[in-house]
Amino acid sequence: MKYKYKLNNLDCPNCANKIECKLNQEKDIISAKVNFSKLELTIETNKEGNIKEFISLIIKDIEPNVKISDLKDKIDNSYTIKIKILRLVLGIIVSILGIFVFKNTISNILIILGYIILLSKTAYTAIRLLLKSRTLDENLLVTISCIGAYFTNNITEGLMVITLYEIGKLLEFIAVNNSRKSITELMDIKPEYANLKVDNELNKVSPEMVCVGDIIVILEGERVPLDGIVLKGSAKLNMQALTGESRLKEVNIDDIVLSGSINTKGLLEIKVTNTYESSTVSKILSLTETATDRKAKIETMVTKVAKYYTPIVLILAIIVALSFPLLFNISFTDSIYRALVFLVISCPCAIAISVPLSYFSGIGASSKKGILIKGSDYLDSISRIKEIIFDKTGTLTTGKFLDYKLDIIDDNYTKEEILTFLVSGESLSNHPIAKSIVSIFNNVKAKKVINFMEVSGRGISYEINNNKIKIGSSLFCKNKENDGLIYININNKNIAKLELSDQIRKDAKSTINKLKRLGIKTKMYTGDDKEIATNVANKLGIDEVYYELLPQDKYKLLEDTLVNKHGLVAFVGDGINDAPSLALADIGISMGGVGSDSAIESSDIVIMKDELNKIIEAINISKKTNKIIKQNLIFAIGIKLLVLLLSALGISSMWQAVFADTGLTLLTIMNTTRILKTK
């Protein structure tokens, strides 16, 4: 069984990593994932009983301040922030009185009291972790530094360190929560209620309570709670949350309406076609909620290093304290002070926070543009693609065949009879070509079909009134010419052939050109004949084209490409017939994923609107995210090493060390939020 909980008062990514590691060590837990960016814990366990209490006891031993609650509970951090501020202000006032106002005994008492007020929480956490779980972290580093400063007669600096540290942690807590709120708002498309129509009355109910076939009403300004078909009314829908498209979409009777869109003008009465669990908005939310569970390599590396980081820093500080008096002409007091400065500098918060927050921001920014990325690893990888393979129909082309030419071979059949045979069978297929045929000849009434069978990549066969019918390629209908046309075969005789004109997407050529400028090789796979395939490829400037392929042929070709690849390979398809290839590629990208189960399930990145240039946008967001992560890491590590060197030389003091810790953390958080402003 899987369980999800909210984590309250979790303000440190190192703490999140410790909780995750500890839970995964428990024999009753199959897997545990802590999403620091969303403050969520996902647990998979076969244990029975009160799981929440069981988890709470484990977490309490590691992080006593962290509390778990149900997902539906809202986290209010205002009280926590007020308590932090109150304790901080009280500690500063007492410390100032002790240093500047009073003298002798009263001064000492007030200074010690100031230390206790300011350092108590950090010291308590450090000692508890050390005794309970044998864990060393930044709380211990700061505690040792402050106490050491007091006993080496650097009392003012010790107070300053814990004061600035607490101020920094408070600002960090606020900054992280504000960033988290901004990102969450980008992906917040969950409907709060549905107006269920019962006996001409509207009842406001939870979307989960509505069944398929129920009638719901969407008033102006409301979010569409469930997928459905319009029965009455017309409206203009804002679908930006789903597709990233800012233009309004007008819907009328018999049009499909997707959950998550907003009714900006009009009133709709729709018949529900999917339960909430199967709805578009639920699938998108599920995808975005689990996206950051898939960690990029650099996130995994930071998590592993964090486990050993603090003990190594502590050992190095001891070496500095003991060896410097022997190697250089300085006192033990001075060497201890330098070691304490070393401890303060070495706190890893800036590095630990910026990496997961950057990926979370990148996924949020992509979602806002109608690009759903299933994990940090895919966001990290898409900028490193060296080769992209495109399916043709429905991807590079619209898949909508608006123009046609029907050539009747056997005069014993009229055009009306042929179209009736054609539409009757094609209406049962989900292939893009079949849908286009039904759309073109929508005024033709279909007849009852029996023994319907579809042969992937070839055609369909069925029976109508004892007539055995085959619709498909020249090979499927046993025609001598391989001309790429659709043949209508009745009782083993070709009676007509249909030519359809597929349109190239308006942004296809510009997208291919941009990919080439980025140094990405492009290929096209298609089931069409050589003439049609090469014509499309030449118009778009595709590097390589492969034609007359069945889905299994595409899979085999992709398999061979992956074996001999010279970099990451992506496959772009429409998510209907390309599921195996989408799943096989290093990165599978589905086009036009709105409402498509196969698109969302089989691919790693879902482009929610039929716009190829979204691939370029995804690459740009990936590049910006990776660039900011590198900036943060280089800046944080560089400054820390510089201050570390200066402290070893006796130049830098504790206040500079605090800047190298909490100041850097705040700067990296602010730099990370630039990802959300990606155009």
For the residues of 333-368, what is the DSSP string, one character each? HHHHHHHHHHHHHT--HHHHHHHHHHHHHHHHHHHH
Which carries the bigger pLDDT value, residue 78 or residue 536? 536
Which carries the bigger pLDDT value, residue 637 or residue 600? 637
Residues 14 and 90 in one domain: no
551 pLDDT more than 90: no
For the entire predicted model, the pTM comes to 0.73
Do the domain assignments include residue 550? no
408 pLDDT more than 70: yes
Per-residue pLDDT, averaged over 503-525, amounts to: 94
Residues 439 and 411 in one domain: yes
403 annotated active-site: no
Report the pLDDT value the prediction gives residue 288, as an integer from 0 to 100. Answer: 64
Per-residue pLDDT, averaged over 377-398, amounts to: 90
Percent of the chain residues past pLDDT 90, beyond the cut:
33
Catalytic residue among 391, 502, 604, 661: 391
Do the domain assignments include residue 385? no
What Cα–Cα distance (Å) separates residue 95 from each residue in 99, 101, 166, 604? 6, 10, 14, 55
393 pLDDT more than 90: no
Residues 442 and 468 in one domain: yes
Report the pLDDT value the prediction gives residue 527, as an integer from 0 to 100. Answer: 81
Residues 38 and 165 in one domain: no
517 pLDDT more than 70: yes
Residues 68 and 118 in one domain: no
How far is Cα of residue 182 from the mean position of the Cα atoms in its chain?
15
Which carries the bigger pLDDT value, residue 163 or residue 15? 163
Residues 424 and 353 in one domain: no
Report the pLDDT value the prediction gives residue 33, as an integer from 0 to 100. Answer: 85
Per-residue pLDDT, averaged over 380-392, amounts to: 93
Residues 317 and 170 in one domain: yes
Per-residue pLDDT, averaged over 271-286, amounts to: 83
Residues 431 and 488 in one domain: yes
* Final residue before a domain boundary, out of 453, 484, 502: 502
Residues 402 and 472 in one domain: yes
Which carries the bigger pLDDT value, residue 569 or residue 475? 569
- List the one residue out of 112, 35, 72 whose CA is nearest residue 363: 35
Whole-angstrom Cα Rg for the chain: 32
The residues that bridge with 68 in the sheet, in sequence order, are 7
Residues 71 and 95 in one domain: no
Per-residue pLDDT, averaged over 411-433, amounts to: 90
On average, the pLDDT of the chain sits at 85
Residues 33 and 97 in one domain: no
Report the pLDDT value the prediction gives residue 184, as an integer from 0 to 100. Answer: 61
Question: Which pLDDT band, with edges at 50, 70 and 90, does 87 fall under?
Answer: very high
Report the pLDDT value the prediction gives residue 179, as an integer from 0 to 100. Answer: 62
What Cα–Cα distance (Å) separates residue 611 from each residue in 201, 393, 508, 599? 41, 14, 8, 15
Report the pLDDT value the prediction gives residue 644, as an integer from 0 to 100. Answer: 81
Question: Taking a C-beta distance cutoff of 8 angstroms, is the pair 19, 41 a contact?
Answer: yes
Report the pLDDT value the prediction gives residue 653, as an integer from 0 to 100. Answer: 81
- Provide the token pair at 584: 């096989």
Do the domain assignments include residue 382? no
| Domain region containing 422 | 398-502
Q: Provide the 10 A C-beta neighbour count for residue 132.
A: 12
User: What is the spatial distance between Cα 358 and Cα 376, in angstroms, rounded to a whole number?
Assistant: 9
The residues that bridge with 500 in the sheet, in sequence order, are 404
183 pLDDT more than 60: no
Q: How far apart are the first and last CA of the chain?
A: 41
* Final residue before a domain boundary, out of 462, 479, 502: 502
- The CATH number for 446's domain is 3.40.1110.10
Residues 428 and 494 in one domain: yes
Do the domain assignments include residue 277? no
Q: Which residue in this structure is represented by tokens 């408070």?
A: 170
**What is the total count of domains within the chain?**
3
Model confidence pLDDT, tens digit, residues 290-348: 655 566 677 677 667 766 777 787 888 889 889 989 888 888 888 998 888 888 877 77
